[in-house]
Structure 1
Amino acid sequence: MLSLHGKTVAITGASGGIGEATARLLARRGAAVVLAARRSERIDAIARDIREEGGRAATCVVDVTKAEDLQRLVSAAIDRYGRIDVLVNNAGIAPISPLADLDTEGWSAMIDVNLRGMLNGVAAALPVFREQGAGHLVSIVSVAGLYGASPTMAVYAATKNAVRTVHEGLRRESTDGVVRTTAISPGYIRTDLADSMTDPRIREQTRKHMDVAGIPPAAVARAVAFALEQPDDVEIGEINVRPTVQA
């Protein structure tokens, strides 16, 4: 495994859960991290913690549905640390419900954040990766939909599988070795993702599953670090991370 010293990693959705855990772990392993999220006070506090522990961390307020915000994130990483080596697309929401509920606003929100947000990141980072001659795109996807969408999760799974498809397309377009891609699919992870679920019954059911079977966000952060620490000629295309007790 290679050290992450000298690497600059920008992470969306870094105000908690998987994003926060990833930022803290990568900083401990030597990377400079740029935390991006809408909650400025939260990412500022996490960045202060990282710096107090001897790490390097900056912040950038970002709404991933806005292409200009992702452009600003990439620029902020370059301005602060001279380059951007990795973009971790982690921001995501899950206002899941049965299709019969016709929650079209929730459908649109998931498309905008989960899929369009990732594409905005690609549009911002890919030209820089090409110019630098190297770069790594990591997206936090989901085990939802891997084997067919579960009830209530059709649109959520569709957005996540669309991200997986974009990753595969980018991989096939990047056989020159300049850009590497990694899609990481978590199962039940103890995060606040359930807070974005609009159906009260589904929200409480999901929270119970997370409380009983969920594993810490650090498990996903370790998977991110594993993918990033590979030699330049090795690409970890996809990793599934789930509790051993998850069906």
Structure 2
Amino acid sequence: MSENINGKVVVITGASSGLGAETARHLAKEGATVVLGARRLDRLKGLASELGLDEKAILQTDVTDRNQVKALVDRAVELHGRIDVLLNNAGLMPSSMLDKLKIDEWDRMIDVNIKGVLYGIGAALPHMQAQKGGQIINVSSVAGHKVGPGGAVYAGTKWAVRAISEGLRQEVKPWNIRTTIVSPGAVATELIDTITDQDIAAGMAKTYEKAIPASSFARVIAFAIGQPEDVDINEVLFRPTSQAY
């Protein structure tokens, strides 16, 4: 499918590690032109060096700030004249039991996981409408399909991503814009490092003992992008073969 990836301009949020960084590596090898945003500029610089990117291809980006997200997307358009794909990848998973009242963590998940996706859509959509094409890929989760104890707020944000994405899918048909939801299960990332509820962290660590590598996510993204333009892969849900829920 690399023939439909080669030359495409792809913007990735949360690109400094894990799923975002591995996807940047994979797509760059397939010939995509990547523009990368994340909060951790030092890591972005390291990735840019690894991939041989000009430093203009990276921008420190906190997705809770809509102006920073817009600046990232606008950077891609300024450099390359268009944006073909936006991967709204930035996310947090500080799961906890509701009675722990970790309200600051709830707020942060809502800001990053929901508002960050909306800000990405808001930044990319005018450009894609003007060029009459593009693809917006939003990262949900298995938790966007199934809720478990300790995951109420995180799952809520990921259900929201799916609802927003489905609404977007229906609205953008006049501009030939494709939309994709990717819902991973246990994939090796730094997500579980954000969990401060020790009981939940212990259970999650056990689940992630059999996590599959971030390259599995990157291949899914490449599959969705690499389809012919008249094929719209709307959702992919995947897990480790050993993951039961």
**What range describes the TM-score normalised by the shorter chain of this pair?**
over 0.9
Q: Which residue of 2 aligns with 1:193?
A: 191
Which structure carries more helix by proportion? 2
What secondary structure sits across from 2:35 in the alignment?
strand
Following the alignment from structure 2 to structure 1, what is the Cα–Cα distance between the partners of residues 16 and 56?
13
Using the TM superposition, give the Cα deviation of residue 168 of structure 1 relative to its aligned residue in structure 2, in angstroms.
0.4
Q: Which residue of 2 aligns with 1:118?
A: 117
2:228 partner amino acid? P
**1:144 pairs with 2:143:** yes
Please list every run of 5 or more consecutive structure 2 residues that lacks an aligned counterpart in the other structure: none
Matches within 5 A, 1:208-247: 208-211=206-209, 213-247=210-244
Using the TM superposition, give the Cα deviation of residue 56 of structure 1 relative to its aligned residue in structure 2, in angstroms.
10
**1:32 pairs with 2:33:** yes
Q: Which residue of 2 aligns with 1:67?
A: 66
Please list every run of 5 or more consecutive structure 1 residues that lacks an aligned counterpart in the other structure: none
What secondary structure sits across from 1:231 in the alignment?
coil
What secondary structure sits across from 2:57 in the alignment?
strand
More divergent stretch after superposition (189-198 vs 215-224): 189-198
Using the TM superposition, give the Cα deviation of residue 204 of structure 1 relative to its aligned residue in structure 2, in angstroms.
3.1
Using the TM superposition, give the Cα deviation of residue 4 of structure 1 relative to its aligned residue in structure 2, in angstroms.
1.4
Using the TM superposition, give the Cα deviation of residue 132 of structure 1 relative to its aligned residue in structure 2, in angstroms.
0.9
Q: TM-score, normalised by structure 1?
A: 0.94
Following the alignment from structure 1 to structure 2, what is the Cα–Cα distance between the partners of residues 34 and 209?
33
Report if the CA contact (8 A) 1:33-1:57 is conserved.
no
Following the alignment from structure 1 to structure 2, what is the Cα–Cα distance between the partners of residues 218 and 185?
14
CA shift in 2, pair 1:70/1:47, >3 Å: same
1:124 partner amino acid? A
Following the alignment from structure 2 to structure 1, what is the Cα–Cα distance between the partners of residues 221 and 175?
19
Deviations 1:184-207 (A, max 9, x none): 000001111011112123223322
Report if the CA contact (8 A) 1:32-1:57 is conserved.
no
CA RMSD of aligned residues (A): 1.6
Q: TM-score, normalised by structure 2?
A: 0.95
Deviations 1:123-162 (A, max 9, x none): 1000110011111000111001413x10000110010010
Using the TM superposition, give the Cα deviation of residue 57 of structure 1 relative to its aligned residue in structure 2, in angstroms.
8.2
After TM superposition, which residue ranges in structure 1, 4 or more long, deviate above 4 angstroms?
none
Q: Which residue of 2 aligns with 1:180?
A: 178
Q: Which residue of 1 aligns with 2:157?
A: 159
Following the alignment from structure 1 to structure 2, what is the Cα–Cα distance between the partners of residues 11 and 184?
14
2:22 partner amino acid? A
Report if the CA contact (8 A) 2:168-2:179 is conserved.
yes
Report if the CA contact (8 A) 2:93-2:109 is conserved.
yes
2:58 partner amino acid? T
